[in-house]
Amino acid sequence: MINPLAKSLNDKLENSTAWALMSEMGKRMYFPNGIISQGGEAATGASFANGTIGMTVTNKVPVMLPSYAKNVPNFTPQETVAYAKTAGHPDLRKIWKEKIIEKNPSLADKKFSMPILVPGLTAALSYVSDLFVDTDKPLLAPDPCWDNYELITCARRGAEFHHFKCFDEKGLNIKALEEKMREDGKKYGSVRVILNFPQNPSGYSPTKEEAAAIVAMVKSVAEDGIKVLVLSDDAYFGLNYEANIESQSLFAYLADVHENVLAIKADGPTKEDFAWGLRAGFITFASKGMTDEQYEALTVKFMGVIRSSVSCSSTPAQSLVMHAFKDPAHDEAKKEMRTMLEKRFKLVKEFTNTHTSSVLTPLPFNSGYFMSFHVNGVNAEDLRKKLLADYGIGVIQINAETLRVAFSSIDEDKIEKVYSAIYEAAEALK
């Protein structure tokens, strides 16, 4: 199960003291040739436009809401340099729980845990994996998916990483998801699946009908005696641009769907509130019949994972978020940023609806920061490199057949030129 990149590093370290001291996890660890490394390459080579960045960018500068900027000079020492509580500031956790209910009204009368603060959503997913993913407890995810899922699963924990084909000709491939869940459930007695909507890299969120079908399917699997963990990676939650999209998280419906289902929600202001670098995220648990005492025990276990890794999250980050949430102008500024993203989405949608390619097929997209192409007959990495070298345009190769473009970081007046270049470069490589 050693990745070739890990093996290469291992070979270089073989006769060193570091190698002699290295853990099995350390031997499996590597830095993927994925979004981060490609983004780093694009940082210097993407002279015209950089569509590798999962941020909202204007004139090459990340958008920063005034509600963040104006509060920094006013922080007290307690808000700035004091240690934070392991599970996060109690007031911030309470505020975020209220916001979860506000955005997901189906949760109003349901019991679920107090959100636990973590240093970003990547940490949230990794910590969840600490508790629930192991060599005999694989993780199931869509194909294509965010490359970090595999790194968290395989390299860090030596666990298997399973896929289901995300889309079929109708939309979300719920049949393939159910087949893989039942297959894992039969083999291991339980199943762990991660679903992120809006999806990264495709930028797709389920319709109301698809969301209901997923919930019904999960319940059916659970009714057959299979323990099911569904991790809703809601990093880009709420950034929906079409009317038929389910507005609530799957977590809202899975929270009490069946006693055999553990629903977990990973979310936070990182993307929802345009605060990428603050690295503030939350984990929330729900399961039908779970008592307050059990929620507390699970929370304490999760706090143990935090304590043994980063100890606590950043105090200034938490302070910034709390000040922003109390600022009357915050929500209005968010709306403006969302409007900006929707304009960019519509321009991309219009382009892909009116242009054809023998190489590129857009995957379904209706939300979030990204859209992706299925690349036919050409290697996506070759296309990525050509765009960077010949056009000064940065994009992400997810795998050999998938190319991701972050329209969130491309100015409106550049979108047509960027996408024209993508189509032109793809045809040139045939």
pTM: 0.87
Among 23-37, 334-348, 403-417, which is the least confidently predicted range? 23-37
Q: Does residue 260 register a pLDDT over 70?
A: yes
Q: pLDDT tens digit string along 303-361?
A: 888 888 888 899 899 999 999 999 999 999 999 999 999 999 999 999 999 999 999 99
Domain contains 417: yes
Angle value at C-alpha 132, between 127 and 133, nearest 5 degrees: 90
Specify the number of domains making up the chain: 2
If asked whether residues 148 and 261 sit together in one domain, one would say: yes
Q: Quote the domain boundaries for residue 390.
A: 31-63+332-428
Q: Can you give the pLDDT at residue 49?
A: 83
If asked whether residues 263 and 152 sit together in one domain, one would say: yes
Tell me which of 292, 326, 360 is where a domain ends: 326
If asked whether residues 358 and 314 sit together in one domain, one would say: no
Report which of residues 177 and 30 the model is more confident about: 177
Q: pLDDT tens digit string along 62-115?
A: 787 888 778 777 787 778 877 888 899 999 999 999 999 999 999 999 999 999
Instruction: Give the CA distances from residue 214 to residues 173, 249, 283, 415, in Å, rounded to whole numbers and listed in that order.
Output: 10, 12, 21, 34
If asked whether residues 379 and 303 sit together in one domain, one would say: no
Pairing of the two strands 396-399 and 402-406: antiparallel
Q: How far apart are CA 85 and CA 62, in angstroms?
A: 29
Confidence of residue 394 (pLDDT cuts 50, 70, 90): very high
Amino acid at 331: D
The answer for residues whose C-beta is within 8 angstroms of residue 223's C-beta and 6 or more apart is 258, 260
**Using an 8 Å Cβ cutoff, are 154 and 27 in contact?**
no
Tokens standing for residue 319:
């302070």
Tell me which of 296, 326, 356 is where a domain ends: 326
If asked whether residues 278 and 222 sit together in one domain, one would say: yes
The answer for residues whose C-beta is within 8 angstroms of residue 96's C-beta and 6 or more apart is 115, 117, 268, 282
The answer for residues whose C-beta is within 8 angstroms of residue 101's C-beta and 6 or more apart is 107, 108
Tokens standing for residue 285:
């648990």
Tokens standing for residue 345:
């989405």
Q: Can you give the pLDDT at residue 168?
A: 93
If asked whether residues 160 and 210 sit together in one domain, one would say: yes
If asked whether residues 106 and 180 sit together in one domain, one would say: yes
Dihedral over Cα of 216, 218, 221, 224: its sign: negative
The runs of H, that is alpha helices, within 142-246 are 148-150, 156-157, 174-188, 208-223
Q: pLDDT tens digit string along 261-311?
A: 999 999 999 888 888 889 999 999 999 998 888 888 888 788 888 888 888
Domain contains 188: yes
Q: pLDDT tens digit string along 106-165?
A: 999 999 999 999 999 999 999 888 888 888 889 999 999 998 999 999 988 889 999 999
If asked whether residues 185 and 256 sit together in one domain, one would say: yes
If asked whether residues 418 and 322 sit together in one domain, one would say: no
Q: Can you give the pLDDT at residue 39?
A: 77
If asked whether residues 337 and 319 sit together in one domain, one would say: no
If asked whether residues 310 and 382 sit together in one domain, one would say: no
The CATH number assigned to the domain holding 357 equals 3.90.1150.10
The CATH number assigned to the domain holding 170 equals 3.40.640.10
Confidence of residue 22 (pLDDT cuts 50, 70, 90): very low
Domain contains 301: yes
Tell me which of 282, 298, 326 is where a domain ends: 326
Domain contains 150: yes
Q: How many CB atoms lie within 10 A of CB 345?
A: 25
Domain contains 364: yes
Q: Does residue 61 register a pLDDT over 90?
A: no
Domain contains 11: no
If asked whether residues 192 and 215 sit together in one domain, one would say: yes
Domain contains 200: yes
